[in-house]
Structure formats: structure tokens, C-alpha cells
A and B are shown apart, each in its own frame.
Chain A
Amino acid sequence: MEQLIQQLVNGVSLGSIYALIALGYTMVYGIVKLINFAHGDVFMVGAFIGFYSITVLDLGFLPSLLLAMTTCAIFGVLIERIAYKPLRNATRIAALITAIGVSLFIEYGMIYVRGAQPEAYPNNVVSIKSFEVFGIKISGQSLLILAVSIVLMILLQFIVHKTKIGKAMRAVSHDMDAAKLMGINVNNTISATFAIGSALAGAAGVVFGMYYTKIDPLMGIIPGLKAFVAAVLGGIGIIPGAMVGGLVLGVIESLVSAAGFSLWRDGVAFVVLILILIFRPSGLFGKNVKEKV
């Protein structure tokens, strides 16, 4: 029993990382109907920026996190402006293939710039002691991940529902032409979406680095794909869906590991994807929306 709860706690930490990445997938899909496969690599870039700002610039955790988020936000906007914007009226498959191209470009560009060797995140950046509750050990790191994720998700909900840019984002994602008729600048709104999504991925990169300690230029591939599964699981384009999808996926993975099948944990995510596509393609939170005439 204690073991089980322990694994649940691990699962929630892992899941909240997936959720942070999945939010970017789902927001971008919601607004431009593009699966941004380069998103996992923005997460990787965030992890490296966090790493260098801790080790080279000697910054603390919070400044490093903010620096990684800001840089990733700018990076995400650049990706959108350079690679995706010219294709906005092209077929979806053209944009999708471009996204895969951008992903490979970032991965191998990173290797070209700094080499393929992994780095170890320093583990003394934040000193939160682990503690025990009813015999269950909860590590400070997983609490930190959880705290960062929760704060960012609340912030995101606030931005999306209460601010002008958030309302513009929802309007554009629902009906681009109608949004234009309101005087909304669609290009800026799309850029803002990429900026916010990428900042969340950057934050996920930093907390991932602190939790798993090892980072490398190809580290974004698997978490990126799993976050994509999480986004589909929750219902792609739906923000609360991405949060829940991420958490559910994280917990499933940890339980699979706990059951002694840890070699299967990566595979399980894709089994989840296949099952959801067969039985509930619109996702847990998705509705089959019918058009009203």
C-alpha cells in the first residue's frame, strides 16, 4: 500500500511535467490546427538554458526558470514566424512535415553547437528536504515540480480566461475570420500562443532536469511524444484536458513501473494513444461538436 502511494506521488510529479508540455501542444493545435512536433525540442532547449544558467551564470532556481521560460517563449515565436507562418494557408500535411523538419533541425543543431554528450543537472540548486508522511517518503524535488506546475497552470487559466490576449486566443481558435472582424490581430495572437506554450515547455525542461538530473539534445523526443499522447488523451485543443491527460498518463506510467513492468513504461503511453484513438478519439474532455445551422 505504501509502495503504491509512493508510486502515485511519483506519477503525479512526472505527470505534471507531461501536462506542462502537453499544454503547449494543445494550445497551438487549438489555434492553428497544427501538431507542433518541434515542441518537445523546445522543452529540451529549456532544459539546457536552465542548466547553463545554473552552472555557467551561477543563477538560482527561480531566475534560471524564468530565463529558460523567456528564452523559450522567444524561440517558440521565432519557430512560428520562420517555419509555420508562411504555411498557414498550405495543406495541414505540409505544415506537419515542416514541424518534423524543425524538430530534427533543433535536435541536430543543438548537437552541432555543443556536442551530443549528456550533462548532469546539479542537484544542490534547491534544498528542499524530503519528508515522510505516514511512512511515505515525498522528495522535495517532486514537491517542487508539483508546485511549479500548479502555479503555472493557474497562471495560464488566468491568462486564457481573464486577460484580453487570452480572450483573443480563444476567439481566434474558435473562428479565425470572425476574430479578424472584431479587430483582433490574428498574427500577434498566434505568436502569443506559441510564446506561452513554449514558455511552459521551457519550465518543464528545467524541472525535468532537476528531477531526472540527466539532460541531452535528444531528451525532448520521448517526453514530447508522451505529452502529445497526453494532449490527445485529454482532448486535443482543450486546455484542462491537457492538464488531466498529463497527470493520468504520468500516474499510469508509474503504476506500470510499480507493477514490475518498468521496461514497458514507454510502450504503455502509446498503448494509451491507440486505445483512445479507437474508443474515444475526441479525448476525455472532447465533445463531438456538431455545427448549428
Chain B
Amino acid sequence: MLKVNDINVYYGNIHALKGVSLEIHQGEIVTLIGANGAGKSTLLKTLSGLLKPKSGEILFENEHLAGKVPQLIVKKGISHVPEGRRVFANMSVEENLELGAYLRKDKQGIREDFEKVYQLFPRLYERRKQLSGTLSGGEQQMLAMGRALMARPRLLLLDEPSMGLAPLLVKTIFQIIEEINKTGTTILLVEQNANMALSIADRAYVIETGNIVASGRASDLGQSDQIRKAYLGGH
């Protein structure tokens, strides 16, 4: 479904992604784990068009997307839930969701997706008229995910959905991620909480200072001593 070939991304002089390649198949949950500053968010931002790679290619269903504008990428079916949720705090929950469907014209379909999102996140329905800035962190995360789903993506990019949330809430969020995946949405999940991420993912990539250093089935990586030491706090 998505194929990234040897992309290089720079922030000014900083070489943030050094020839990263990865592949995501239809229906998978793939996780990208790594320490702070390893380049996880940079990769997602490049996939969604916020950053332009200097070289390399991004193929989404055999279409070249590297360097394209976010608008086009959303239209093609990739939605990005950014780190720190980035909800529009000055707008209501409902308006945030409406903006998620910004590029869509099918009113009937949008209405159905409102229903679906509210079913997935009943809390959002209760608070639909509330300004999203007044929501709790967990609710804002739900809103950010719901907003991305409103674009009816085929590939959902999630950046640190567990950040700053209470453990119980993290569990809920991960359950919802699995649920979203079951309805046919492919997921690329970036996480620092590697344990949780590996527990729901099919496959995983490990990124370190801009390089992919390991990849494989999530269950295998979870067993690897090296990975356990570096990312899982294991012994």
C-alpha cells in the first residue's frame, strides 16, 4: 500500500532522515518506535506533506507522493493525527470534526461518518457543542483521531497517541486503534510507549538517529534482547 524508498529529509543543515525505507501493507498496523529525536515525527510529517524530502520516493498505491502538498495527500487517503493532538481549541468538537471532512463533498457520507466517530468515541458526542480547548487531554486525543477519520482515510498516521495520558486511558486509546484497524483502515503508529505499540502491531520498525536499525514482526522484535534493552526497559 505504502512504500517509502530511501528518503532523505533535512531541517536546515540537520540531516533528520538518512535514507529511510519502509513498507506498509493493506490492513496492517505497523509501528515505528524509537527514542526522542530519532526522526519518528519527521517521517510522519514527510508522509503527510508537511515536510518535503530532499531525495527518495514515497509510493502510495503506486502513486508518487513525495513532495506533494498535504491537501493532495489527504485527498489520496492518508490522514495524519499530529503529535500533541493539535485540535482547533477555539472551535467546538463538532466544528473540528467538520473540518476533518473539509475536502469531502458527499453530505450523506459525512453524516454517516459523524455517526461512526460518535459511536467510536461516545465522549465526543456528549461534548459536541463544547469548545475543544476545554476538553481533557484524552478527549482531545479522541477528537484528533475522530477528526482524522472524518476524511475517510485508508492509511492513518498516528503520532504518539498515548503522550501524556493516564495508563488506563492509554489502554482505551489503543483498543480504539485496534478497532479502527478492524474496520479496514491501515495504521502507521509512532510511539515511545514501545511495549504498548508492539502489543497491537503486526510489524515494527525501529528508528535511531534517522536510520532504520531494525524491522520485523512486532512479536519477534518484542522478544529481541537488544530491542528490549533499548526501548522496553526490559532486562
Q: Contact at A181–B90, with CB atoms within 8 Å?
A: no
- Contact A183/B49 with A174-B89, A175-B86 known, Cβ cut-off 8 Å: no
Residues of chain B lying within 8 A (CB to CB) of residue A174: 88-91
Which residues between 244 and 262 of chain A lie within 8 Å of chain B, taking CB atoms?
Answer: none
Q: Is there a chain A Cβ closer than 8 Å to B158's Cβ?
A: no
Q: Is there a chain A Cβ closer than 8 Å to B70's Cβ?
A: yes
Q: Contact at A184–B133, with CB atoms within 8 Å?
A: no
Distance between B80 CB and nearest chain A CB, rounded to angstroms: 5
Q: Is there a chain B Cβ closer than 8 Å to A88's Cβ?
A: no
Residue among A170, A178, A180, A182 with max Cβ neighbours from chain B (10 Å): A182
Residues of chain B lying within 8 A (CB to CB) of residue A157: none
Q: Is there a chain A Cβ closer than 8 Å to B164's Cβ?
A: yes
Residues of chain A lying within 8 A (CB to CB) of residue B71: 180, 183-185
B interface bracket (residues with beta carbon within 8 Å of A): 20 to 34
Which residues between 136 and 178 of chain B lie within 8 Å of chain A, taking CB atoms?
Answer: 137, 147-148, 151, 164
Q: Contact at B98–A181, with CB atoms within 8 Å?
A: no
Distance between A287 CB and nearest chain B CB, rounded to angstroms: 10
Q: Contact at B86–A182, with CB atoms within 8 Å?
A: no
Main secondary structure of the interface of A (DSSP, over half): helix
A interface bracket (residues with beta carbon within 8 Å of B): 10 to 19
For A171, give its contact among B91, B133, B164 (CB under 8 Å).
B91
For B164, give its contact among A175, A185, A293 (CB under 8 Å).
A293
Residues of chain A lying within 8 A (CB to CB) of residue B70: 180-181, 183
- Contact A292/B99 with A181-B48, A181-B74 known, Cβ cut-off 8 Å: no
Q: Is there a chain A Cβ closer than 8 Å to B79's Cβ?
A: yes
Q: Is there a chain B Cβ closer than 8 Å to A177's Cβ?
A: yes
Q: Contact at A167–B86, with CB atoms within 8 Å?
A: no
A177, B70: Cα distance in complex, Å: 9
A164, B99: Cα distance in complex, Å: 8
Residues of A whose CB lies within 8 Å of any CB of B are 164, 167-168, 170-171, 174-175, 177-185, 292-293
- Sorted nearest first, the 9 A-B pairs with minimum C-beta distance are A183-B74, A178-B86, A183-B103, A180-B70, A182-B102, A183-B71, A182-B99, A174-B88, A183-B102
**Other CB < 8 Å A-B pairs besides A178-B87, A183-B151, 15 of them?**
A167-B99, A170-B88, A170-B91, A174-B88, A174-B89, A174-B91, A175-B88, A177-B50, A177-B86, A180-B49, A181-B50, A181-B79, A181-B148, A182-B103, A183-B71
